[in-house]
Structures are given as structure tokens and as C-alpha cells.
Amino acid sequence: MTTRSFNPLSRSVAGPLPSRALNAPRQALVEVEFDGTPSQVNRRPVALVREEWRVVDRWWTEEPVSRRYFEVVLDSGENTVVFRDEEKGGWFAQRA
């Protein structure tokens, strides 16, 4: 047998842990109406769209941001915020 896989020092010289973003967007499964407003979020029906707004930022950079946010109330009574990433496509949930 060999010694190479076993290194008791591996923990003692491990590097520092990186910081991470708080409230990072999480992928969401969203179905939409004809006008683009959410009708289902993660397979749960939307009872009410409370608010809608846009965030367009960093348009002067290589990674522009263009998002269409919706604050919705699900039929379970839960309040949630989702947005459509209009640059890369796809829906995400995030606390706004």
C-alpha cells in the first residue's frame, strides 16, 4: 500500500474560505401568461401579482444586467419575488 493519499496535514494548511453573496438569485420554475407575467412559480399557482419593476444596470460593461421583477402572492398565501433575466434568459427567485 502507499502513503500518498494520506496526508494528515491537509486540514492544517487548508486555505481561507471565500466570502459569498448574500441573497444570490436561485433558479425558479416559472410559467407565464401571454403578457409575460408569472402564472405559476415552482408549480404553485400565482394568486396575485402585487408589483412589477425593471432593473437595468451595468449597460456600460461587458456584463449588462436587465431584469424584470415581479412580486407575487401564491395561492398558499406566500409572498415571493421572481425575475426574468432578459440578458441570459431564465427565471430566478430572490428576496428583493
Partner 1 sequence: MIASILIPGFELRAALLRRPSLALGPAALAPLPGTEPRLGPVTAAAEAAGVRPGMRLGEALSMCPSLVLVEHDPASAGEEWEGILRRLEDAGFAVEPAEPGCLYFETRGVERLYGGVEAALRRALAAVGSQWDPRAGAADRRFAALAAAGVARAGQILVVAGEHTRDFLAPLPLTLLSLEPDRHEELSELGVRTLGELAGLPGAAVADRLGPDGRRAWSLARGGSSGGVAARRPAAELAVALEFPEAVGNELTLRRALWALLDRVLALPERAGREPRKLVVSARLVGGGSWRRSATLREATADVARLRAALGPKLAELTAPVLKLGIELTELGDSAGRQLELVRPEGDELRVRLREGLRQTRSSAGAGAVCTVVEVAPWSRLPEQRALLVPRD
Q: Judged by CB, which is closer to partner 1: 20, or 43? A: 20
Number of residues that bind partner 1 (CB under 8 A): 29
Q: Is 25 in the site for partner 1 (CB under 8 A)?
A: yes
- Residues 93, 29: Cα–Cα separation, whole Å: 9
Give the interface segment with partner 1, choosing from 9-17, 27-35, 41-49, 70-78 (CB under 8 A): 9-17
CA atoms within a 13 Å half-sphere pointing along the CA-CB vector of 36 = 13
Does residue 47 contact residue 53 with C-beta atoms inside 8 Å? no
User: What are the residues binding partner 1 (CB under 8 A)?
Assistant: 1-10, 12-17, 19-25, 55, 57, 65, 94-96
